[in-house]
Structure 1
């Protein structure tokens, strides 16, 4: 039976295709009972999302997904149950958003070198509410016929060693975790299976994440395979992390539809254990 919990999703405030209200309505239609809106580096959609969730009898968990640079690689840290008005978090996110425009120019320049013109304007055309991300460039490139979907696009473009890659410094891992914890939230390492860093670096990342105060890792997420569900469940147990889950929903055609997540593997301790938002749900493991 699919889980009614989804703790990772995106709206048009960052790089999702649905406005916050429509995203919550879609989640409700898919049977989601506890939802977190975790837009990249922005919390602007949380207030309206919470209002609409209440109208549908859902629980909205305040969230954000923070862009982090770790050993010259980009990783993402999800903050759950955050206070969006916490000044250090708010100011830190504002600084990251300003840097996104610089990165966008670098991505466009890189693509231009490989004969792909107009990508900056094309990406911004998809960024309806201001934040610019690789996903907006990806949509432009797919629109122009360079790939048929996100999965194939990100194998050939916008990643290290490929056209459109631009090295950019985001927040540090310590900053992201400190902002989240300071706001009363829980720091979760997002979709670890997506980071092509090798086994040794993954263990180092998990150790550092734990030592800095990270609480959980995403075990079940839209971009993980079934084998990775088990792999990261074992790593969560090894490092003493709680386990989170989320579709990482951006809109139709993405990783996984909302309301279709399997339950966490046996033995995982849910990050939402003891949360008041989930006490009305049954069969949570």
Structure 2
């Protein structure tokens, strides 16, 4: 495995095991076809696809890192921490993720109840139908159901009008703590990465992002996503500077879920700036 920033690494994507629409095997094939050299499947709060992903990657001669994306509540904001190079059979992270998944069903029922109050009925059953893993029913599954029903033209429109804070279908949830998420990743032999930091608009607006980076680093977090599907070209530059400022390794990942929903396909990202140290250097 090359440790150069020019490696086509895609270290953030999702399968049907969480809220993607492709199987782990289909994602491996798509990554290989798109020229990816190093790949990681990072389903939300779930490791059930790791064995299939690793075996599929091996069959394709595609370098692979086991991964996960952990939902975290920090300063009242939901953020995501990716774990890369983890041991997917480590008891500590498996149990921690199980606890994190608890409560999704109750939240989904409350979301459906609130949507019914504005005339959108059957949303819980519809979202379940869209979910490959019923234990991981999420806002994305509700969004796909509302698109199917013609309520909105696409999932982005659903989120903006129904599923973000202040909108009819939004229900807050208490996820894992930042301390726990980083500890689980480290205990399982992995590297903790702050996922798509440009998406945390409230923290950025309140200038609390600096506190996040400091606390994350104090806990042993090592990396930050610089080039990702939800960042703009200007944000690539912003988070490259953040990586340098805090001494973070730089990660790269499309956050691919579905070809009709995701901004960028697997592997079709700009390369990391060549002056940064890539996160895959930690696994060389």
TM-score, length-normalised on structure 2?
Answer: 0.93
Of residues 244, 249, 256, the one that matches 2:256 is: 249
Q: CA deviation at 1:256?
A: 0.6
Query: Take 2:282 and 2:222, find their aligned partners in 1: how far apart are those partners?
Result: 14
Q: CA deviation at 1:113?
A: 2.5
Query: Take 1:192 and 1:227, find their aligned partners in 2: how far apart are those partners?
Result: 13
Contact 1:14–1:129 (8 Å) recurs in 2: yes
Query: Take 2:157 and 2:214, find their aligned partners in 1: how far apart are those partners?
Result: 31
For 2:192, the equivalent position in structure 1 comes to 187
Contact 2:6–2:274 (8 Å) recurs in 1: no
Q: CA deviation at 1:129?
A: 2.5
After superposing on structure 2, the runs of 4+ consecutive aligned residues of structure 1 that deviate more than 4 Å are: none
For 2:8, the equivalent position in structure 1 comes to 4
User: Does 64-73 or 143-152 show the bigger shift?
Assistant: 143-152
User: Does 168-177 or 25-34 show the bigger shift?
Assistant: 25-34
Q: CA deviation at 1:98?
A: 2.1
Task: Provide the aligned length of Structure 1 versus Structure 2.
Answer: 276
TM-score, length-normalised on structure 1?
Answer: 0.93
Query: Take 2:276 and 2:161, find their aligned partners in 1: how far apart are those partners?
Result: 35
Of residues 156, 159, 162, the one that matches 1:151 is: 156
Q: CA deviation at 1:157?
A: 2.1
For 1:283, the equivalent position in structure 2 comes to none
Q: Does 1:177 align with 2:163?
A: no
Contact 1:3–1:260 (8 Å) recurs in 2: no
For 2:40, the equivalent position in structure 1 comes to 36
Of residues 99, 102, 109, the one that matches 1:105 is: 109
User: Does 174-183 or 255-264 show the bigger shift?
Assistant: 255-264
Q: CA deviation at 1:152?
A: 2.8
Give 3-state SS (helix, strand or coil) of 1:244's partner: strand
Unaligned runs of 5+ in 1: 277-285
Give 3-state SS (helix, strand or coil) of 2:201's partner: coil
Seen in structure 2, the aligned counterparts of structure 1 residues 208 and 25 have a Cα distance that, compared at 3 Å, is: same
Give 3-state SS (helix, strand or coil) of 2:70's partner: strand
1:1-285 alignment runs, 5 A limit: 4-130=8-134, 131-197=136-202, 198-199=204-205, 200-253=207-260, 254-276=262-284
Seen in structure 2, the aligned counterparts of structure 1 residues 58 and 115 have a Cα distance that, compared at 3 Å, is: same
For 1:279, the equivalent position in structure 2 comes to none
Query: Take 1:274 and 1:93, find their aligned partners in 2: how far apart are those partners?
Result: 24
